[in-house]
Structures are given as C-alpha cells and as structure tokens.
Amino acid sequence: AQSVTQPDIHITVSEGASLELRCNYSYGATPYLFWYVQSPGQGLQLLLKYFSGDTLVQGIKGFEAEFKRSQSSFNLRKPSVHWSDAAEYFCAVGARGYSTLTFGKGTMLLVSP
C-alpha cells in the first residue's frame, strides 16, 4: 500500500522569501503525485500533479514541484511567498489501477510580515 509523509507539521516563512514543503512517498511503482491547498474554512484545491514525463511540474499560483524518484520525494516550491499563501498544504499519492488517493497529514504554512 502507498503512504505519504510530510515531515513538517508547520512552517513559518517571511513574506517574499522562498518556500519548500517536503513530501516523501512510499510506493513500488511510479505513483501519481498531487499537491492540494486548503485555505481556512475551505475545501481542497489542486495546485499541481505529476504522472510522468518532465519531473519539474508547474502549477497554479506560482507553485512548482519536482519529482525525484531516487529520493521518493515530491517537494513543493515557490520562489516568493505572499501572505495569501498561508494555508494547509497536502501531498497525496495515487496508484495505477486504484481510485483512491492517500493523503499526507498536511503542512500548515504561516507567513510572517
């Protein structure tokens, strides 16, 4: 069975600084990988996804993520954080032939002025 680890429960970043949120997965084959964002009181919104091909994927709101098979990682990055980016971020993994996603426990991003 697949699993997802987000090692950081919360991260604080200054506005304008760069951001990297970590995600490690466990799965025997090439997984489907996703990053979702949840703003306070809202549902989850897809930021980006990776299925195959170019290992650097671009998403909405200026986010990108890089798939590194050797490290079983799919870290989310943004070069310059805005106060509106403060939210909970979830990494998720899916497997071929299955319908479900397995979510990590989330990383809360706090943005300081």
Partner 1 sequence: DTAVSQTPKYLVTQMGNDKSIKCEQNLGHDTMYWYKQDSKKFLKIMFSYNNKELIINETVPNRFSPKSPDKAHLNLHINSLELGDSAVYFCASSQRAGAYNEQFFGPGTRLTVL
Please report, as ranges, the residues that interact with partner 1 according to CB under 8 A. 32, 34, 36, 41-46, 49, 51, 88, 90, 94-96, 98-101, 103, 105-106, 108
Tokens encoding 23: 């995600």
Nearer to partner 1, 16 or 61 (CB): 61
Pair 57, 64: CB distance under 8 Å = yes
- The minimum distance between CB 7 and partner 1, in angstroms, equals 15
- The minimum distance between CB 16 and partner 1, in angstroms, equals 27
- The minimum distance between CB 43 and partner 1, in angstroms, equals 3
Nearer to partner 1, 54 or 113 (CB): 54
* φ, ψ for residue 71, nearest 5 deg: -105, 0
Residue (of 43, 85, 78) closest to 59 by Cα position = 78
- Burial class from Cβ neighbours inside 10 Å (0-12, 13-18, 19+) for residue 95 reads middle
